[in-house]
Amino acid sequence: MRRSMLFLPGNNPNMLINGNCLGADAVIFDLEDAVSPAEKDAARILVRNTMRYMDFRGCEIIVRINSIDTPYWKPDMEAIVPYKPGMLLLPKTGTASDILEADAYLTQLEEKLGLEQNTVGLMALIETAMGVENAFAIATASKRVRALFLGAEDLTADLQCKRTKEGREIEYARTRLVVAARAAGIAVYDTPFTDVNDDEGIWTDARYAKALGFNGKASISPRHVEAINSVFCPTMKEIEYAYEVMDAIELAKKQGKGAIALHGKMIDAPIVARAQQTIAAAEELGIRREED
Protein backbone atom coordinates (compact mmCIF):
# COMPACT_ATOMS: atom_id res chain seq x y z
CA MET A 1 0.00 0.00 0.00
CA ARG A 2 1.37 3.35 -0.98
CA ARG A 3 -0.68 6.16 0.46
CA SER A 4 2.33 8.45 0.59
CA MET A 5 5.54 8.42 -1.43
CA LEU A 6 8.19 10.81 -0.22
CA PHE A 7 10.87 12.16 -2.56
CA LEU A 8 14.33 12.28 -0.99
CA PRO A 9 17.26 13.87 -2.84
CA GLY A 10 19.75 11.16 -3.77
CA ASN A 11 22.67 13.42 -2.90
CA ASN A 12 21.63 14.22 0.68
CA PRO A 13 23.00 11.65 3.15
CA ASN A 14 21.14 13.13 6.11
CA MET A 15 17.78 12.75 4.38
CA LEU A 16 18.60 9.28 3.11
CA ILE A 17 19.60 7.85 6.50
CA ASN A 18 16.47 9.27 8.07
CA GLY A 19 14.24 8.30 5.15
CA ASN A 20 12.67 5.34 6.93
CA CYS A 21 11.76 7.43 9.98
CA LEU A 22 9.55 9.96 8.28
CA GLY A 23 6.29 8.02 8.20
CA ALA A 24 5.94 7.57 4.43
CA ASP A 25 4.72 4.23 3.04
CA ALA A 26 7.34 4.54 0.32
CA VAL A 27 10.36 6.75 -0.30
CA ILE A 28 11.54 7.80 -3.74
CA PHE A 29 15.31 8.21 -3.84
CA ASP A 30 15.78 10.80 -6.54
CA LEU A 31 18.67 10.56 -8.98
CA GLU A 32 17.03 12.86 -11.53
CA ASP A 33 15.93 16.47 -10.91
CA ALA A 34 17.31 16.78 -7.37
CA VAL A 35 20.83 15.94 -8.56
CA SER A 36 22.96 18.16 -10.78
CA PRO A 37 24.85 16.49 -13.67
CA ALA A 38 28.16 16.89 -11.81
CA GLU A 39 26.83 14.87 -8.87
CA LYS A 40 25.04 12.08 -10.73
CA ASP A 41 27.72 9.47 -9.99
CA ALA A 42 28.10 10.42 -6.31
CA ALA A 43 24.34 10.30 -5.76
CA ARG A 44 24.10 6.94 -7.50
CA ILE A 45 26.75 5.51 -5.15
CA LEU A 46 25.11 7.06 -2.11
CA VAL A 47 21.67 5.68 -3.00
CA ARG A 48 23.12 2.25 -3.79
CA ASN A 49 24.93 2.14 -0.44
CA THR A 50 21.84 3.29 1.42
CA MET A 51 19.93 0.40 -0.13
CA ARG A 52 22.77 -1.98 0.60
CA TYR A 53 23.33 -1.12 4.27
CA MET A 54 20.15 0.36 5.65
CA ASP A 55 17.12 -1.38 7.00
CA PHE A 56 14.01 0.08 5.40
CA ARG A 57 11.58 -2.45 6.84
CA GLY A 58 8.02 -1.19 6.49
CA CYS A 59 8.99 1.44 3.95
CA GLU A 60 9.18 0.60 0.26
CA ILE A 61 12.09 1.94 -1.74
CA ILE A 62 11.44 3.41 -5.17
CA VAL A 63 14.24 5.02 -7.15
CA ARG A 64 13.69 7.76 -9.71
CA ILE A 65 16.34 7.08 -12.31
CA ASN A 66 17.22 9.50 -15.09
CA SER A 67 15.13 9.54 -18.26
CA ILE A 68 16.04 7.41 -21.24
CA ASP A 69 17.11 10.41 -23.31
CA THR A 70 20.10 10.94 -20.96
CA PRO A 71 23.38 9.00 -20.65
CA TYR A 72 22.63 8.25 -16.98
CA TRP A 73 19.70 5.85 -16.98
CA LYS A 74 21.62 2.66 -17.75
CA PRO A 75 24.32 3.22 -15.09
CA ASP A 76 21.48 4.12 -12.70
CA MET A 77 19.79 0.79 -13.37
CA GLU A 78 23.07 -1.11 -13.14
CA ALA A 79 23.77 0.33 -9.69
CA ILE A 80 20.25 0.02 -8.28
CA VAL A 81 18.69 -3.15 -9.69
CA PRO A 82 20.96 -5.57 -7.71
CA TYR A 83 19.39 -4.19 -4.51
CA LYS A 84 15.88 -4.91 -5.75
CA PRO A 85 14.00 -1.64 -5.39
CA GLY A 86 10.22 -1.94 -5.13
CA MET A 87 9.97 -0.01 -8.39
CA LEU A 88 11.90 2.31 -10.63
CA LEU A 89 10.24 5.60 -11.45
CA LEU A 90 10.86 6.38 -15.09
CA PRO A 91 10.70 10.12 -15.75
CA LYS A 92 9.36 11.76 -18.90
CA THR A 93 7.66 8.64 -20.14
CA GLY A 94 5.98 9.79 -23.34
CA THR A 95 5.26 6.64 -25.33
CA ALA A 96 4.91 2.88 -24.97
CA SER A 97 8.28 2.46 -26.68
CA ASP A 98 9.99 4.34 -23.81
CA ILE A 99 8.68 1.62 -21.53
CA LEU A 100 9.77 -1.12 -23.89
CA GLU A 101 13.29 0.27 -24.04
CA ALA A 102 13.58 0.41 -20.26
CA ASP A 103 11.94 -3.00 -19.98
CA ALA A 104 14.42 -4.61 -22.36
CA TYR A 105 17.43 -3.36 -20.44
CA LEU A 106 15.87 -4.38 -17.11
CA THR A 107 15.28 -7.87 -18.48
CA GLN A 108 18.95 -8.08 -19.48
CA LEU A 109 20.07 -6.96 -16.04
CA GLU A 110 17.74 -9.34 -14.25
CA GLU A 111 19.04 -12.24 -16.32
CA LYS A 112 22.63 -11.24 -15.60
CA LEU A 113 21.93 -11.01 -11.87
CA GLY A 114 19.97 -14.23 -11.78
CA LEU A 115 16.81 -12.45 -10.71
CA GLU A 116 13.40 -13.64 -11.75
CA GLN A 117 12.06 -11.68 -14.71
CA ASN A 118 9.84 -8.71 -13.78
CA THR A 119 11.26 -8.55 -10.23
CA VAL A 120 11.69 -4.82 -10.59
CA GLY A 121 8.56 -2.93 -11.50
CA LEU A 122 8.25 0.32 -13.38
CA MET A 123 6.20 3.32 -12.44
CA ALA A 124 5.72 5.62 -15.41
CA LEU A 125 6.11 9.28 -14.60
CA ILE A 126 3.76 11.09 -16.93
CA GLU A 127 4.86 14.70 -17.19
CA THR A 128 4.48 15.68 -20.81
CA ALA A 129 1.46 16.33 -23.04
CA MET A 130 2.58 13.35 -25.11
CA GLY A 131 2.63 11.15 -22.02
CA VAL A 132 -0.88 12.17 -21.01
CA GLU A 133 -2.25 11.45 -24.47
CA ASN A 134 -0.49 8.04 -24.49
CA ALA A 135 -1.35 7.15 -20.90
CA PHE A 136 -3.29 3.95 -21.61
CA ALA A 137 -0.73 2.70 -24.13
CA ILE A 138 2.03 3.33 -21.58
CA ALA A 139 0.07 1.62 -18.82
CA THR A 140 -0.39 -1.50 -20.95
CA ALA A 141 2.99 -1.54 -22.70
CA SER A 142 4.54 -4.12 -20.38
CA LYS A 143 3.79 -6.27 -17.37
CA ARG A 144 6.44 -4.29 -15.56
CA VAL A 145 4.28 -1.18 -15.48
CA ARG A 146 2.73 -1.29 -12.05
CA ALA A 147 1.58 2.31 -11.77
CA LEU A 148 1.19 5.68 -13.44
CA PHE A 149 2.40 8.78 -11.68
CA LEU A 150 1.43 12.33 -12.58
CA GLY A 151 4.21 14.95 -12.56
CA ALA A 152 2.45 18.29 -12.78
CA GLU A 153 5.43 20.65 -12.65
CA ASP A 154 7.02 19.54 -15.92
CA LEU A 155 3.60 18.93 -17.43
CA THR A 156 2.41 22.51 -16.92
CA ALA A 157 5.65 23.77 -18.44
CA ASP A 158 4.98 21.56 -21.45
CA LEU A 159 1.36 22.73 -21.59
CA GLN A 160 2.60 26.32 -21.46
CA CYS A 161 0.38 27.18 -18.54
CA LYS A 162 0.93 28.31 -14.99
CA ARG A 163 0.95 25.78 -12.19
CA THR A 164 -1.53 26.93 -9.56
CA LYS A 165 -2.39 25.74 -6.08
CA GLU A 166 -5.98 25.03 -7.15
CA GLY A 167 -4.73 22.90 -10.04
CA ARG A 168 -7.49 23.45 -12.61
CA GLU A 169 -4.81 23.37 -15.31
CA ILE A 170 -4.05 19.72 -14.49
CA GLU A 171 -7.65 18.60 -14.05
CA TYR A 172 -7.75 16.88 -17.44
CA ALA A 173 -4.41 15.14 -16.93
CA ARG A 174 -5.44 13.92 -13.50
CA THR A 175 -8.72 12.39 -14.63
CA ARG A 176 -7.16 11.04 -17.81
CA LEU A 177 -4.48 9.23 -15.83
CA VAL A 178 -6.95 7.78 -13.39
CA VAL A 179 -9.10 6.46 -16.23
CA ALA A 180 -6.08 5.01 -18.10
CA ALA A 181 -4.72 3.31 -14.99
CA ARG A 182 -8.07 1.84 -14.06
CA ALA A 183 -8.64 0.61 -17.61
CA ALA A 184 -5.21 -1.07 -17.45
CA GLY A 185 -5.84 -2.40 -13.94
CA ILE A 186 -2.82 -0.69 -12.33
CA ALA A 187 -2.35 1.89 -9.59
CA VAL A 188 -2.16 5.66 -10.09
CA TYR A 189 -0.48 8.31 -7.95
CA ASP A 190 -0.93 12.05 -7.76
CA THR A 191 1.65 14.78 -8.17
CA PRO A 192 3.24 16.40 -5.07
CA PHE A 193 1.76 19.52 -3.50
CA THR A 194 4.74 21.79 -3.84
CA ASP A 195 4.15 24.58 -1.34
CA VAL A 196 6.17 23.07 1.49
CA ASN A 197 5.18 25.86 3.87
CA ASP A 198 1.45 25.38 3.39
CA ASP A 199 0.53 22.85 6.05
CA GLU A 200 -3.21 23.27 5.40
CA GLY A 201 -3.31 23.32 1.58
CA ILE A 202 -1.92 19.79 1.45
CA TRP A 203 -5.10 18.48 3.07
CA THR A 204 -7.35 20.04 0.43
CA ASP A 205 -5.13 18.88 -2.41
CA ALA A 206 -4.84 15.31 -1.07
CA ARG A 207 -8.61 15.04 -0.45
CA TYR A 208 -9.24 16.19 -3.99
CA ALA A 209 -6.83 13.58 -5.40
CA LYS A 210 -8.51 10.86 -3.38
CA ALA A 211 -11.91 12.02 -4.61
CA LEU A 212 -10.71 11.65 -8.22
CA GLY A 213 -9.66 8.05 -7.58
CA PHE A 214 -5.89 8.24 -7.03
CA ASN A 215 -4.39 5.46 -4.86
CA GLY A 216 -2.02 7.83 -3.13
CA LYS A 217 0.05 10.92 -3.52
CA ALA A 218 3.70 11.83 -3.68
CA SER A 219 5.27 14.48 -1.51
CA ILE A 220 8.44 16.52 -1.62
CA SER A 221 8.10 17.51 2.04
CA PRO A 222 8.17 15.13 5.00
CA ARG A 223 5.77 17.52 6.72
CA HIS A 224 3.07 16.59 4.19
CA VAL A 225 3.31 12.84 4.80
CA GLU A 226 0.96 12.71 7.76
CA ALA A 227 -1.81 14.55 5.91
CA ILE A 228 -1.46 12.30 2.88
CA ASN A 229 -1.47 9.11 4.97
CA SER A 230 -4.46 10.30 6.85
CA VAL A 231 -6.45 11.25 3.73
CA PHE A 232 -5.67 8.02 1.86
CA CYS A 233 -6.38 5.84 4.86
CA PRO A 234 -9.89 4.36 4.89
CA THR A 235 -11.96 5.86 7.72
CA MET A 236 -13.36 3.70 10.52
CA LYS A 237 -16.81 4.42 9.13
CA GLU A 238 -15.80 3.18 5.68
CA ILE A 239 -14.19 0.07 7.16
CA GLU A 240 -17.23 -0.69 9.30
CA TYR A 241 -19.52 -0.30 6.30
CA ALA A 242 -17.29 -2.59 4.21
CA TYR A 243 -17.55 -5.32 6.83
CA GLU A 244 -21.31 -4.86 7.01
CA VAL A 245 -21.50 -5.30 3.25
CA MET A 246 -19.45 -8.52 3.40
CA ASP A 247 -21.55 -9.83 6.31
CA ALA A 248 -24.74 -9.09 4.38
CA ILE A 249 -23.41 -10.90 1.30
CA GLU A 250 -22.48 -13.88 3.46
CA LEU A 251 -25.97 -13.93 4.93
CA ALA A 252 -27.58 -13.68 1.49
CA LYS A 253 -25.55 -16.65 0.31
CA LYS A 254 -26.61 -18.72 3.29
CA GLN A 255 -30.24 -17.83 2.75
CA GLY A 256 -29.89 -18.55 -0.94
CA LYS A 257 -30.94 -15.03 -1.88
CA GLY A 258 -29.63 -13.46 -5.07
CA ALA A 259 -29.94 -9.84 -4.06
CA ILE A 260 -29.81 -8.20 -0.66
CA ALA A 261 -30.30 -4.71 0.74
CA LEU A 262 -28.28 -2.97 3.44
CA HIS A 263 -29.66 0.13 5.16
CA GLY A 264 -32.38 0.19 2.50
CA LYS A 265 -29.93 0.17 -0.42
CA MET A 266 -29.38 -2.73 -2.81
CA ILE A 267 -25.88 -4.18 -2.68
CA ASP A 268 -24.53 -4.75 -6.17
CA ALA A 269 -21.22 -5.98 -7.51
CA PRO A 270 -19.37 -2.60 -7.51
CA ILE A 271 -20.32 -2.05 -3.87
CA VAL A 272 -18.92 -5.47 -3.00
CA ALA A 273 -15.74 -4.77 -4.96
CA ARG A 274 -15.30 -1.45 -3.16
CA ALA A 275 -15.87 -3.14 0.20
CA GLN A 276 -13.24 -5.75 -0.59
CA GLN A 277 -10.73 -3.02 -1.51
CA THR A 278 -11.44 -1.15 1.70
CA ILE A 279 -11.00 -4.27 3.84
CA ALA A 280 -7.79 -5.20 2.04
CA ALA A 281 -6.42 -1.68 2.64
CA ALA A 282 -7.43 -1.75 6.31
CA GLU A 283 -5.82 -5.14 6.83
CA GLU A 284 -2.61 -3.97 5.20
CA LEU A 285 -2.52 -0.97 7.51
CA GLY A 286 -3.27 -3.15 10.53
CA ILE A 287 -6.56 -1.38 11.25
CA ARG A 288 -9.02 -3.73 12.89
CA ARG A 289 -12.75 -3.65 13.07
CA GLU A 290 -13.80 -2.06 16.34
CA GLU A 291 -15.48 -5.10 17.93
CA ASP A 292 -12.55 -7.40 17.03
Partner 1 sequence: MNKLVASIREAVQFSGLKDGMTVSFHHHLRNGDFVLNMVMDTIAEMGIRDLTVNASSLFDAHMPLLNHIENHVVTNIITDYMASGLGREISRGIMENPVQFRTHGGRPSDIALGRTPIDVAFIAAPTADPMGNCSGKYGKSACGSLGYAFADAMYAKKVVVITDNLVPYPLADFSISEQYVDYVVTVDAIGDPRGIVSGTTQITRDPVGLVMASYAAKVIENSGLLKDGFSFQTGAGGASLAAAKFLKEIMLRDGIKGSFGLGGITGYMVDMLEAGCFQSLMDVQCFDLKAVESIRNNPNHREISALHYASPAVRSAVVDSLDVVILGATEIDTDFNVNVHTDSNGFIMGGSGGHSDTAAGSKLCMIIAPMFRARLPIVTDHVNCVSTPGKEIDVLVTQGGIAVNPKNPELKQRLAGAGLPVIDIHELKEKAERITGTPKQRKKGDRAVAEVIYRDGTHLDTIYNVK
- Residue numbers of the site for partner 1 (CB under 8 A)? 17-18, 21-23, 53-55, 221-223, 226, 286
Q: Which is nearer to partner 1, 166 or 284 (CB)?
A: 284
**DSSP states of 178-246:** HHHHHHHT-EEEEPPP--TT-TTHHHHHHHHHHHHT-SEEEES-GGGHHHHHHHTSPPHHHHHHHHHHH
Maximum distance among all Cα pairs of the chain, rounded to whole angstroms: 69
Write down the least CB distance from residue 276 to partner 1, Å.
25
Q: Which is nearer to partner 1, 226 or 240 (CB)?
A: 226
Q: Which is nearer to partner 1, 256 or 286 (CB)?
A: 286
Write down the least CB distance from residue 21 to partner 1, Å.
4
Write down the least CB distance from residue 79 to partner 1, Å.
19
Write down the least CB distance from residue 221 to partner 1, Å.
8
Give the Cα-Cα-Cα angle 54, 59, 63 (nearest 5 degrees). Answer: 75
Q: Which is nearer to partner 1, 101 or 226 (CB)?
A: 226
Tell me the sheet residues that pair with 150.
126
Which residue, among 78, 76, 86, 74, has the nearest Cα to 24 in the 3D structure? 86
Contacts of 97 (CB under 8 A, 6+ apart): 141
Q: Which is nearer to partner 1, 28 or 184 (CB)?
A: 28
Write down the least CB distance from residue 15 to partner 1, Å.
8
